[in-house]
Structure 1
């Protein structure tokens, strides 16, 4: 039997709450105690699995009464998703994040599987053939923004 990763367990726990409520407010230390892990593990889960690319907005307040609030974004139409993605595309886009964004477009019916696979192929490290990681990520970001603009104008 394969043991589930602690990050997967924490993600599932938070998504279960979000399935029942519009938002979840947590205290990092409390969740870390609950799952017997270090607080930085909670940061990792939130940073990598609750991103705008995956349809989440994360707000935080530091200090004694600090919290982390995770909100699942409910979009009214396709243009909202495209606009939110456009606003949150960093100037340097890692391939892993590009995959998540493309998956979100596919999951929301904005692109077909074939289009998503083409986008992945175009942005792949091997295709770009740039040995400077920063330059590669910058180009990937520009390509993704161009894809989003094309989707925005064709709809």
Structure 2
């Protein structure tokens, strides 16, 4: 069983067509190879940045180890329990971020918030980037007084859950 001349012609045509497609695909392959190599390089850069960020975090954690008392840390809770400062984040509208700002402003105790004058409250609001009247609207002074006098349970009953 042999090939007919038509079959030989078709076989030769398929062979030539495959060869041409192969040649054409090689020139396009360089484009894809460059794109792949670019992605690999970008991934290497991202990995290097991530490693640098992790090293920076580790360095900051080593530095913070000597200063365990800060807002939102176990040391801060221990300091509050020891009576060195009050947990200002319990005041609705303050939270841990606001507590940091209050501490930076030199406010550590409920009594200090209670004794804020309207002018002091306005100054504090602008320093913390709050809307004018936030201290009065959120009743920070009243909450601080209740927390100081009667504790968290009374505060929770009056103002709901704490931050």
Q: TM-score, normalised by structure 2?
A: 0.25
Query: Which has the larger share of strand?
Result: 1
Larger radius of gyration: 2
Greater share of helix: 2
In the superposition, the TM-score normalised over structure 1's length comes to 0.26
Which has the higher relative contact order, 1 or 2, with Cα contacts under 8 A spaced 6 or more apart? 1
